[in-house]
Structure 1
Amino acid sequence: MQRRRDGWMARAAVMAVGLALTSVAPAAPSVLATTGMVADLVDRIGGECIETEALMGPGIDPHLYRAAASDVQAFQSASLIAYNGLGLEGQLDSVLRRFGERRPTLAVAEAAAAAGPVDLIQTDGDGAPDPHVWMDAALWSQAITPTVEALRQVVPDCTAGLRERASALREQLSALDAWMRASIASIPAGQRVLLTAHDAFGYYGRAYDIEVRGIQGISTTAEASVADIQANARLIAERGLPALFVESTINPRTVDAVVAAARERGAEVVIGDTLYGDALGESGTLADSLPGLLIHNTAAITRELGGERAPLPAALSDWRAPLRARHGGE
């Protein structure tokens, strides 16, 4: 009897300690972001005040993503839902709009466009604007203030920290914007053409003065035709382009077809290093954050097209630090 009573008391003590720890360290409010780019922005500003989760991981194409029942449950339990908007999330868009009628939501790309004078790139398809605004570091930085305001509603006690981290991120994106511009400018003018599997780099091309061609359209739901393949092969041959690129979320078959067609025309062209368009890279790689994605892409484009990458400025010397600190020094 005494042994049984002692065991019960020991279990009760463990339960009491667990309850005490729970009361001392409550879970931080959660933010569910659709893409890795949106999650990175929210995470860098929210810091330790929030828990951020990305719905779509590396290699996931948001244009084709379909919501599962578990996603709806995750939306319902999130303190804030952050998404890109402008139609990027495809079939998930209507779900997000419905949740926006009854839960706190933030359409990050739409907020960035509304925060300053900017002309969204219009598409030739259904009339929706190009949603890939994160490819322009200066334009993406316009989403910082709206993100701070959305997070303040969730964690008002963290306002000072939110604003401090936002200021640091704004400085980093400004330095990154200048570095990207200098690197792309080093590419010989005749070769300054970015040919990719799908047209995700419109804002990048406009901001950094490089002609952009996509074999597929803005959305990966579009299929490249034989005429598209031949037109891009002709472009490679006529302009003497040394490389074209495929993004991490795209099947490379159309790029392979363009390379074969270009070689039939006597053009020597290679497929350059993989670019990251609609998703971040795997954890631990350079492209596992938005600044890293832009650094990786710009370095690869500059190198493969015959330019020379500019030295990274001092403001970018610790651009990985916030995420390392947040995730235990990884």
Structure 2
Amino acid sequence: MKRWATRLAAGLPLAFCLGAAQAEEAPIRAVATIGMIGDVAAHVGGSCVEVTTLMGPGVDPHLYQPGARDVQTFQDADVILYSGYSLEGQLGAVLKRFSQMKPTLAVAEASIEEGELIAVEGAYGIDPHLWMDAGLWSRIAPTIAQTLGEMRPDCADAMRANAESYGRQLAALHDWAGRAVATVPEQQRILVTAHDAFGYYGRAYGIRVEGIQGISTEAEASVADIRAAAARVAELGVPAVFVESTINPRTIQAVIDAAAQQGQEVRIGGELYSDAMGEAGTAGGTYIGMIYENTRNIVTALGGTPPAMPDALRDWAETWDVADASANVPAAQ
């Protein structure tokens, strides 16, 4: 990968110089590796930025294999925004090469204090799924605003204002998610998912998290992993488990079947967004919608009742025709 990235980078044509006036008028071409960064960048940058997201709905960043088209996308960008903490492991060599040519920022690493990170065993060292805590993830908005503002000083004030406004929405979302999870009976606050992507969510909102496999999805869950998860489900009387949009549901189904053999009937509580947001043009295709829909599905399936939508999110709700926190909850399967 490093040799391939070096060859491609060595052949990059020299960019021709634009006039100062034209450069200021043109939107910044920003490339974000994942949608959870791209959506924040779009909110912060407004009309001063044009955001392209590399990995779309259903794409697992742990497994993503970069291709020549991705390198071309990076080549055309004015700035590259990625999460860091090894989330984009397969892209590491390419990102390192481009960091020597243009602004390339690991937004999570630049925004969140070390003491607030979750340490994990294995190659990662740090759990990279920081967007699962809306309070933590809101920290990337001012970081992005500062980076883009330095590139477009004429937009800097508007970007700072956008970051502050968006931060207030995420603060309201964070508070709402915590109040929603608190409505689940305490003994049922157990979130079982295919892989361990919800650690920050569990810590932030007060729910125990049980991932069938670890942080990475590079290897499938083993038979031992499935048996261990089924034993915990049966022991704790878990009423529902959850599939993820980026992972094959067969692992969860195997746990359901194994738990049934131990006398515990458990159902699928719904599909959660873990390493990617939903389809563009839907509420779940926004970062706010990702956390909102996940929380709504988790709380409802585990026996709670989501509270009313906070006033700070009314504009978002109207834009996406979301009537109420408890509306349109899909039936458990």
TM-score range, shorter chain: 0.7 to 0.9
**2:249 is equivalent to residue 252 of structure 1:** yes
Question: Distance between the aligned counterparts of 1:308 and 1:320, measured in 2?
Answer: 18
- Match for residue 169 of structure 2? 172
Normalised TM-score (structure 2): 0.86
Question: Distance between the aligned counterparts of 2:168 and 2:320, measured in 1?
Answer: 16
Query: Structure 2, unaligned stretches of length 5 or more?
Result: 1-21, 322-333
- Match for residue 315 of structure 1? 312
- Return the offset for 1:142: 1.3
- Match for residue 97 of structure 2? 98
- Match for residue 134 of structure 1? 131
Task: Tell me which of 207, 214, 218 is aligned to 2:215.
Answer: 218
Amino acid at match of 2:308: P
State how 1:99-118 maps to structure 2 within 5 Å: 99-114=98-113, 118=115
Contact conserved, 1:202 with 1:212, CA < 8 A, in 2?
Answer: yes
Contact conserved, 2:86 with 2:124, CA < 8 A, in 1?
Answer: no
State how 1:121-200 maps to structure 2 within 5 Å: 121-200=118-197
- Match for residue 8 of structure 1? none
Cα 1:25–1:102 change in 2 (3 A) is: closer
Name the stretch that deviates more: 139-148 or 179-188: 139-148
List per-residue Cα deviations over 1:268-320 (Å, max 9, x = no partner): 10111100011110123221111000000000000001111011110010126
Question: Distance between the aligned counterparts of 1:96 and 1:24, measured in 2?
Answer: 24
- Match for residue 80 of structure 1? 79
Contact conserved, 2:26 with 2:48, CA < 8 A, in 1?
Answer: no
Contact conserved, 2:85 with 2:124, CA < 8 A, in 1?
Answer: no
Q: CA RMSD in A?
A: 1.9
Question: Distance between the aligned counterparts of 1:159 and 1:232, measured in 2?
Answer: 49
Amino acid at match of 1:292: G
- Match for residue 233 of structure 2? 236
SS in 2 for 1:266: coil
- Return the offset for 1:233: 0.7
Contact conserved, 2:282 with 2:320, CA < 8 A, in 1?
Answer: no
**2:289 is equivalent to residue 292 of structure 1:** yes
Identity among equivalent pairs (%):
51
| Bigger radius of gyration | 1
Question: Distance between the aligned counterparts of 1:238 and 1:131, measured in 2?
Answer: 29
Task: Tell me how many residue pairs correspond in the alignment.
Answer: 300
- Return the offset for 1:26: 5.7
Contact conserved, 2:30 with 2:49, CA < 8 A, in 1?
Answer: yes
- Return the offset for 1:27: 4.0
Amino acid at match of 1:60: V
SS in 1 for 2:210: strand
- Match for residue 29 of structure 1? 28
Contact conserved, 1:108 with 1:147, CA < 8 A, in 2?
Answer: yes
- Match for residue 70 of structure 1? 69
Query: Structure 1, unaligned stretches of length 5 or more?
Result: 1-22, 325-330
Cα 1:321–1:95 change in 2 (3 A) is: farther
Cα 1:323–1:106 change in 2 (3 A) is: farther
Contact conserved, 1:192 with 1:211, CA < 8 A, in 2?
Answer: yes
Normalised TM-score (structure 1): 0.87
